[in-house]
Chains A and B, each alone.
Chain A
Amino acid sequence: MYRQGRKLRNKWAAAGAACCGVLGLVAPHAVAQGCAMCYQTASASGAPGREALRHGILILLLPAVTLFLGIFGLIYRRRNQAR
């Protein structure tokens, strides 16, 4: 019974993920949540500028995300250590 319920849940989850994937594939330009002003300024710059911006964003983003997760890793490792 439990196994059947779990299988059903997995099926629904897979169907949901597939729907999201299809939506993403058919609507690559349906971007939302950006600053219209910054986006327009950035997209108006030349190709080297756009590429530099993309690299600049990733170079700043990757360490930030890594450090964020790293700090959580540290507190998780010490989750049972008391003063």
Chain B
Amino acid sequence: MSAALEPPTGFLRRCVFSTDHKVVGLQYFSLALAAVTIGIVLSLLMRFHLVWPAAHLPFVSRGIMTPEQYLALVTMHGTIMIFFVLTTAPQGAFGNYFLPIQIGAPDMAFPRLNMLSFWLTLAAFLCMLAAFAVPGGAPISGWTAYPPLSGLGEVAGPGEGTGQTIWIISILIFCVASLLASLNFIATTIDLRAPGMTLMRMPLTVWAWFVTAILSLLAFSVLLAGGILLLLDRSAGTSFFLPAGLVVNGEMQGHSGGSPLLWQHLFWFFGHPEVYIAILPGMGVVSHVLANFSRKPVFGYRAMAFALCAIGFLGFLVWGHHMFVSGMNPYSGLTFSLLTISIGVPSAIKTFNWLGTLWGGTLQFHTPMLFAIGFVSFFITGGLSGIFLAQPAVDTMLHATYYVVAHFHIVMGVASIFGIFAATYYWFPKMFGRSLDETLGKLHFWFSFAGAYCIFMPMHFVGIAGGIRRYADSSGANYLAALQPLHEFMTIAAFVTAAAQLIFFWNFFRSLRKGAPASANPWNATTLEWTTSSPPPPDNFGGQFPSVYRGPYEYSVPGEKADFVPQDRAPAGVARIGPATEGIPQRAYLTGTIMLLAGVLMFFMALVSAEIVRRGFSSDWRVLDLPLRILALSTSILVASSFTLSRSRNRLFANDDAGFRHWWSVTVILGMFFLAGLGISWRRLAAAGIGIATNPSSSFFYVFTAAHAVHVFAGILVMVAVAVRPVRQLTRQTVTSVVSTYWHAINGIWILLFLFLLLER
């Protein structure tokens, strides 16, 4: 037993700039609540306009909504819901709050980074909202921001000026925040587990957050690269995504040879895994809740854990098949198809195992259980409607219709949100020490459940009948007139469902103050979060860190008095495992660095992939006359810096402080020489009249080198900072190992980039 951690004093340190993962989790939760409220209001405005297009709306300039304003609502509703609700709430809020507690850790591996992730996400959210307030308003290019519309600027229509630029900047900030958060989740899961918490004793929620974090790490890096290229198309005159000969509103655009398909290539690498980023945490929560309220172990725990991993893995292959064109060898397309279709196997395993968990259980229909069952219902419904879209011939017909809207709203939106509600009702007593009102909770469930089906089931039929999505007003088309009563029904259902959410808000805010006090374990659950007080103390366990002896779902164990056995209860006759060490293990810092480098590698691979695709699609590619001598010299200097850094590390391990400092300083100087070399090559190119927008090869050269220079500069800054002031909590050996790993990897990436630049000549 160690001394309990004292909470920080002062409002700012305790509630605003707190590094406590529980406070950060609540901050994410509040952000998601604000975002979902705005998202719902936007969707109601859209539904209202679809049914009564000529009606005067109070918040719209000149009263009647224009088609562009409708498209702006479509864009902002999609973006806010997908990024700031479905990505933020299940992972950022509940993952942050409960992952460390469920694995028996005092906090996340990098608490300050955790705080920074939240504040960056908030900055991204405020930036996104600011798009409403700028001249021209919010962008109209949809949440997928397809070019050319999103790349052209103001000439493309209202919202495509400053609004679209702000939108891209917001997404870029969000990507950085998500990358930092995901490496934190991965390092925490790998290195901060309590003694006895083996992989097969981790709750399925932890598995889900872990797999989601890997997906985020790899997918958001690529979106970051794509977003930067799009921003350059808009602001620097490059032509990554914009084709030649575009005439917009009578104006000839000055771009040449870009391909909108390149954006689809990069965007959907993120877009496909994003579906799983949104739904996987919900799957974890639902498995957790179903076991608890069925008083049964999860049916096929191992299969469930493997299915989560398989869904994450296959999520990337789904993307691969998205555009993989059968050319020379038709079997290559088939391989991707079969791999893609195989994602149905783990999804089916999960569904059957949920039903298997319920089967024969002592079911307790508390509100979290209802929402968990609702999740399963919507997941099955959405999955079944997806089968039809999987057939290309049918997809071609349904692609631009409301059928697709209904499908993805049910499977990605409603199912995920039911997962979020299940988590909220389940963990509210733990988070706030009070209980939510069960009657109001059940009322909220039934209205939401029936309401969501009333909105989205008729929407399928509207789609099949030819109702086209994204149209602001379909009243002018005669063949769509017969669908108007269905639209009216859906709109009324949407308003009723939205009103039902007021029940939730009332219940939530009222229970914060007046809810019945909750005990430490009100649901008689088994996992570690229920072994500590409600709400948990600052270090989660009041100095008594747990050891784990059992699996996460030991319910109704024969021979036990109670129908649940907590994970930290040692079986009779088994020796107790020693308590965990205090603080963060040094190896976690290295794990975090490796994860950061994985994200960096994906970022650069996205740029390389973009160059290959761009070159293949263009006729305007010119081989660049690079200042090769300077670049080769810079490369040699960078390689030399790796050797000097290794020498510095060796000196440290040999307890030669002076030698360590000497070689450390030499490495910093060599790094600066490398940057100077890059600066000289840019200057040479500029002097020859070759700018970033001159031709696509120069655009990629500047992007590659600038992006790499930023990483080298960051490495130099860290080295200088470490030399000036020792880092708390880290030994010098750890710091040196971390910096060395980063530096060698960044140098390795440069060598690959340099070879790539040489090869493409």
Contact = CB atoms under 8 A, between A and B. Distances in A.
Given A68-B218, A72-B309, A33 B605 contact: no
A63 B337 contact: no
Contacts of A64: 218, 269, 316, 602, 605
A79 B199 contact: yes
A13 to B, nearest CB: 15
A60 B606 contact: yes
A76 B306 CA distance: 13
A22 interface: no
Contacts of A31: 321, 326, 333-334, 336-337, 392
Contacts of A49: 259, 261, 616-617
B439 interface: no
Given A32-B391, A53-B616, A24 B334 contact: yes
B261 A45 contact: yes
A81 interface: yes
Contacts of B268: 35, 38
B95 interface: no
A34 B616 contact: no
Nearest to A78: B190
Contacts of B399: 35-37
B464 to A, nearest CB: 16
Nearest to A80: B198
Nearest to B584: A83
B325 interface: yes
Main secondary structure of the interface of B (DSSP, over half): helix
A56 B610 contact: yes
**Most B C-beta atoms less than 10 A away, residue of A30, A32, A79, A83:** A83
Interface in A62-83: 63-65, 67-72, 74-76, 78-83
B601 A63 contact: yes
Contacts of B591: 74
B338 interface: yes
A74 B608 contact: no
Interface string A24-58: 10011111111111111111010111111111111
**Most B C-beta atoms less than 10 A away, residue of A31, A40, A65, A81:** A31
A82 B194 CA distance: 5
A82 B190 CA distance: 9
A37 B104 CA distance: 48
B331 interface: yes
Contact of A36 (B192, B395, B598): B395
B432 interface: no
Contacts of B594: 74
Contacts of A61: 316-317, 319-320
A36 B394 CA distance: 9
A20 B335 CA distance: 12
B580 interface: yes
A1 interface: no
Interface in B230-276: 259-261, 264-265, 268-269
Contact of B616 (A29, A48, A68): A48
A36 to B, nearest CB: 4
Contacts of A75: 189-190, 199, 210
A83 B192 contact: yes
B550 interface: no
Interface string B189-221: 111111111110000000000100010001000
B313 to A, nearest CB: 6
Given A68-B218, A75-B199, A57 B320 contact: yes
B324 interface: yes
A34 to B, nearest CB: 6
B615 interface: yes
B186 interface: yes
A82 B320 contact: no
A33 B396 CA distance: 12
Contacts of A35: 268, 322-323, 395, 399
A63 B602 contact: yes
Given A47-B327, A55-B612, A56-B613, A28 B334 contact: yes
B609 A56 contact: yes
Contacts of B309: 72
Contacts of B325: 39, 42-43, 50, 53-54
A60 B222 contact: yes
Nearest to A71: B214
A83 B615 contact: no
B341 interface: yes
A75 B332 CA distance: 32
B191 A53 contact: no
Q: Give me the 7 closest cross-chain CB pairs, A-B, nearest first.
A: A52-B616, A56-B613, A82-B195, A28-B330, A36-B395, A33-B340, A60-B609
Interface of A: 20, 24, 27-43, 45, 47-61, 63-65, 67-72, 74-76, 78-83
15 contacts: A28-B333, A30-B337, A32-B337, A32-B392, A33-B318, A34-B322, A42-B325, A49-B259, A49-B261, A57-B320, A60-B605, A68-B214, A68-B312, A71-B595, A78-B191
